[in-house]
Amino acid sequence: MSPSLKGGITPEFASHVCMNYCRAMCCRGALVLSLSEAEAGSFQERSDDLGATVVLTRRDGGGAWVRFSDHEGERCPMLDPKTFRCRIYKDRPQRCRDFPEKPTPGCPISGSVQVEHTR
Ligand code: SF4
Ligand code: SF4
């Protein structure tokens, strides 16, 4: 779980905001996701299971990058573009679990901006 969720926000509500308020803004665009070696293997396996095409850029010393710009719609290949859900949510990489890792301007769940709690 992110170490910088705004006080009182549950992980479930944070997911709700990510999907329905931001439409998974952090899972698309000109961003890069960093994967450990084990995560890179798992990411590839899960993408094969889902029939998704993943382009991994190997890093010296292990692990890989996923450049969203290398993928259809400039989004993470694990993102469902209709629902904005992560298709591997329970097995998502550590980087995704930790995000936002610090108070982030513009992120309504990170503690820097007020958001109305709707459920
Ligand atoms: S900016 Fe914050 S609320 Fe929006 S998608 Fe990113 S982590 Fe979620
Ligand atoms: S793995 Fe899931 S949570 Fe992580 S960037 Fe991709 S869609 Fe978003």
Q: What pLDDT band is residue 25 in, cutting at 50, 70 and 90?
A: very high
Q: What is the secondary structure of 49-81 as a DSSP string?
A: HHT-----EE-TTS-EEEEGGGSGGGB-TTB-T
| Contacts of residue 19, Cβ cutoff 8 Å, sequence gap at least 6 | 83, 84, 85
Instruction: Tell me the pairing of strands 64-67 and 32-35.
Output: antiparallel
The answer to whether the predicted template modeling score (pTM) of the entire model surpasses 0.85 is yes
Q: Is 54 in the pocket of ligand 2 (CB under 6 A)?
A: no
Locate the ligand 1 atom nearest the alpha carbon of residue 18 and give its number: 8
Locate the ligand 1 atom nearest the alpha carbon of residue 24 and give its number: 5
Element (H, E) at 35: strand 32-35
Q: What pLDDT band is residue 100 in, cutting at 50, 70 and 90?
A: confident
